[in-house]
């Protein structure tokens, strides 16, 4: 895939349009599955796309006290961050378009950019619900980010590199989720926190703070944030698949793998009540981080002694 024209890679495949459409498809599958599990009918397949176009066609209202430039730029920045991350992650089971030493860190931080943008956007829009939402979004960011990175660190340490493609080469088709089970579970659950899915949806708990940080957003800005979230979901799954589930394979297997991940995530989502933000932080720092570190120590010791 290194032969791809950079413009095509950025705009159409695997970045850009492709990731966005795939994200919307996954959002639909997630919504439909959740609806069926809750004994509801659920939306039709084009609902996320229809929502997107509806929002895009609406007038954008900027709050009086907000900085208008920031208000408009932040959603674009969030989407740009996610789409750039798509270039470093193997999508559809194919090699990543770009590969540089340390691209694992780059990817993780590009994904965090979405959350940071949402945080800034909420603080900028100065609504009361937004401000409470921002506090929660950022608190949650600081709680899941460390365990997430630690979880991705364990294959990286074993492979001795920060480059995703080299970790994939190290795995060589082996499913690292069996040798790194704790890291795998933590990575998935942290991904749910990243995507603000229930039970980690305290930052946008509608029964308390309406829409969280994005309460004041509407029209185009909201559409772009929703789109970045959708794309983030695909890239998050792709990252976990690449690191823990056999690396680069073929598109069909990749689709099955990510859909299984989506099913697992949706099941957790349906089965749990929302956690309070203090409970979320407690969970991550008390159990998540500690377990991730234990996993790394065990692997390192095992590698030193056995190999």
Contacts of another protein in 14-73 (CB under 8 A): 37-40
Question: Least separation, in Å, of the C-beta of 288 and another protein?
Answer: 16
Q: Which is nearer to another protein, 204 or 232 (CB)?
A: 204
| Alpha-carbon distances, residue 52 vs 174, 193, 228 (angstroms) | 39, 23, 11
User: Which residue from 104, 138, 214, 277 is in contact with another protein, where contact means CB under 8 A?
Assistant: 277
Q: Which is nearer to another protein, 40 or 174 (CB)?
A: 40
Q: Does 7 bind another protein (CB under 8 A)?
A: no
- What DSSP line would sit under 236-289, residue for residue? HHHHHHHHHS-SS--HHHHHHHHHHHHHHHHHHHHH-PPPPHHHHHHIIIIIIH
Q: How would you label 189-226 residue by residue, b for 16+ Cβ within 10 Å and e otherwise?
A: bbbbbbbbbbbbbbbbbeeebbbbbbbbbbbbbbbbbb
Contacts of another protein in 255-274 (CB under 8 A): 270-274
Question: Least separation, in Å, of the C-beta of 7 and another protein?
Answer: 43
User: Which residue from 30, 112, 115, 135 is in contact with another protein, where contact means CB under 8 A?
Assistant: 135
Residue 166 CA to residue 108 CA, distance in Å, equals: 16
Contacts of another protein in 100-129 (CB under 8 A): 128-129
Contacts of another protein in 144-173 (CB under 8 A): none
Q: Which residue in 306, 305, 289 sits closest to 153, CA to CA?
A: 289
Question: Least separation, in Å, of the C-beta of 199 and another protein?
Answer: 6
Q: Does 198 bind another protein (CB under 8 A)?
A: yes
Q: Which is nearer to another protein, 2 or 38 (CB)?
A: 38
Residue linked to tokens 């919504």: 31
Segment (H or E) for 175: none
| Alpha-carbon distances, residue 262 vs 142, 155, 255, 269, 270 (angstroms) | 24, 22, 10, 10, 12
User: Which residue from 16, 75, 81, 199 is in contact with another protein, where contact means CB under 8 A?
Assistant: 199
Contact residues toward another protein (CB under 8 A) are 37-40, 128-129, 131-132, 135, 198-199, 201-202, 205-210, 270-279
């Amino acid at each position: 895939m290194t032969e791809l024209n950079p413009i095509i890679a950025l705009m159409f495949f695997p970045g850009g349009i492709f990731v966005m459409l795939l994200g919307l498809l996954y959002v639909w599958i997630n919504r439909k599955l959740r609806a069926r599990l809750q004994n509801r009918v659920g939306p039709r397949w084009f609902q996320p796309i229809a929502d997107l176009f509806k929002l895009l066609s609406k007038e954008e209202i900027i709050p009086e006290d907000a900085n208008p430039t920031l208000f408009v730029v932040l959603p674009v920045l969030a989407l740009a961050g996610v789409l750039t991350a798509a270039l470093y992650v193997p999508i559809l089971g194919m090699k990543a378009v770009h590969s540089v030493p340390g691209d694992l860190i780059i990817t993780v931080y590009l994904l965090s950019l979405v959350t940071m943008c949402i945080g800034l956007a909420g603080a900028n829009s100065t609504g009361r619900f937004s401000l409470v939402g921002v506090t929660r979004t950022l608190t949650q960011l600081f709680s899941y980010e460390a365990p997430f990175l630690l979880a991705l660190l364990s294959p990286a340490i074993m492979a001795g590199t920060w480059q995703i493609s080299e970790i994939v080469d190290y795995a060589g088709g082996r499913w690292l989720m069996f040798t790194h089970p704790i890291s795998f579970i933590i990575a998935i659950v942290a991904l749910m926190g990243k995507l603000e899915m229930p039970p980690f949806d305290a930052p946008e708990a509608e029964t308390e703070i309406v829409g969280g940080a994005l309460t004041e957003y509407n029209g185009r800005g909201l559409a772009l944030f929703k789109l970045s979230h959708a794309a983030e979901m695909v890239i998050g799954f792709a990252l976990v698949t690449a690191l823990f589930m056999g690396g680069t394979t073929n598109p069909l297997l990749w689709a099955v793998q990510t859909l299984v991940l989506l099913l697992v995530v949706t099941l957790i989502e349906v089965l749990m009540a929302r956690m309070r933000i203090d409970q979320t932080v407690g969970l991550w720092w008390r159990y998540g981080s500690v377990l991730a570190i234990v996993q790394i120590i065990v692997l390192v010791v095992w590698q030193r002694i056995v190999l």
